[in-house]
Amino acid sequence: MDLPTLTLTEAAQAIRDGSLSPVEYVKALFARMDQVEERVRAWVTVNREAVLAEARRSEDEARRKQFRGPLHGIPIGVKDLFYTKGLRTTVGSEVFRDFVPHEDARAVELVKTAGAIILGKTVTTMFANLDPGPTRNPWNLAHTPGGSSSGSAAAVAARMCPAAIGSQTIGSVGRPAAFCGVSSLVPTQRRIGLSRTWPLAWSLDHVGILGRSVEDLKIMLDAMSESLVERHNAPKTYRIGIIRDFFYKHATEQARSLNDVLANKLAAAGFQIEEARLPEVFQVAPATLRTIIRAETAAVHAQIFPAKGETYGPKIRAFVETGMLIDASDYVRARRIRRRYQREMAKLFERFDALMTPAAPGTAPDTSTTGDPVMNGPWTLADFPTMTLPHALGANGLPVGVQLSGPPFGEGLLLELGKAVETVIGFDSHPPI
């Protein structure tokens, strides 16, 4: 058994049936880190002694059939803006270089309660913004893994952990998942608590999950959800609305073509695929998102930036400085427009079970950027649960992802639909690293 290649689902089952030792699993992942981490640079902090101690505890409990939950003995990566008790949390910045929280973030509490082992903290771009960090794409080290959940996506893709926690304010989970060829789920905002998580923009921030299969995402969500995820019997025919008008304008020819190829495959497999038209209010979505995120980012940094602004990267600095210029009335107006936008966009689900677009404009660009979140922001603004699945390789050998969005708190149906789509896709490629 090649332990680093196990999905979360496979590892969890093997631990429960006694065929996998949590201690040996952790040691295998450490060995994998020793092979590739120097090149990928996905991790900020890993306390190996503490991780092994937790693995021994999990193994002892497993021998006695005392399983704490569905993630018992599973090593998880955690983005370095979620507080971790006793483990450094830098938020990708010099400002918090030596910050060690006394409490866990709510998301971390939830996975620990479910039995997970915190393997370490994964790289986030500075303050979860757009300035590229040190992490590289495991498929090609000359390319970005995306951001801001750079380390979480790269660690899962490079087989250093089976799953990881990230966060998304515009496209910080879905875009890295697409670039790194892994699966992701960003649930409705209130599905997973955000307490003790460093914010970028509090009304837009979402906890996200990265794994290697839809079933991995389901297990993680079941463990982390603050409310029951409703189960849905599969309908006779899934109805998917493919949206081309806005999203195809921002996609490369290759991304458009591969998305259409997938739509045709799904139609041939029995899915009902129809063109979906965006409501008129969609036209103001980019400006609305921009106003909210910049105003809230400026508020978050109001006490820190005057003294520490010289340590900020150019993109996060621009966010803060432009956000400081936004009038309160403009911010309030943007929040009102957002509510109308959410209502109008939700009407699309009167016809469709899910909406389908490319997950990114194309394959991962070079490391001077984290890529463009234009494909993801509209869904974060709407607060629709969104899933990214790898479905093809581009001409340059890098992954291409599809994005599926469902109605608010519709994660149960989205996961079931995602499993069916995943089966049709049959993606089975791995990074060469």
> CB–CB of 91/83 below 8 Å?
no
The answer as to whether 410 is a domain residue is: no
Q: How many CA atoms lie within 13 A of 429 on its CB side?
A: 19
* Parent domain of 215: 3-224
pLDDT at 263: 99
Six-digit token string for 324: 């400081």
Whole-number Å distance between alpha carbons of 97 and 91: 8
Residue 97: exposure state from Cβ atoms within 10 A (0-12, 13-18, ≥19)? exposed
The answer as to whether 419 is a domain residue is: no
Q: Which residues does residue 337 pair with via DSSP β-bridges, in sequence order?
A: none
The answer as to whether 404 is a domain residue is: no
pLDDT at 231: 76
What is the Rg, in whole angstroms, of the alpha carbon atoms belonging to the chain?
A: 20
The answer as to whether 73 is a domain residue is: yes
Q: What is the dihedral of CA 168, 34, 41, 404, to 10 degrees?
A: -30
- Number of structural domains in the chain: 1
The answer as to whether 421 is a domain residue is: no
pLDDT at 98: 97
> What's the predicted TM-score (pTM) here?
0.98
Q: Phi and psi dihedrals of 418, rounded to 5?
A: -60, -40
The answer as to whether 236 is a domain residue is: no
Question: Helices 411-425 and 253-268 meet at what angle, rounded to 10?
Answer: 100
Distances (CA, A) of 166 to 27, 151, 186: 24, 9, 9
pLDDT along the chain (433 residues), means of 10: 97 99 99 99 98 99 98 99 99 98 99 99 98 99 99 99 99 99 98 98 99 99 91 83 97 99 99 98 97 98 97 98 98 98 98 98 99 98 99 99 98 97 98 96
Distances (CA, A) of 419 to 7, 212, 358, 376: 15, 12, 18, 21
The answer as to whether 75 is a domain residue is: yes
Q: CATH no. for residue 144?
A: 3.90.1300.10
Whole-number Å distance between alpha carbons of 313 and 127: 9
- At 431, the amino acid letter reads P
The answer as to whether 36 is a domain residue is: yes
> CB–CB of 18/62 below 8 Å?
yes
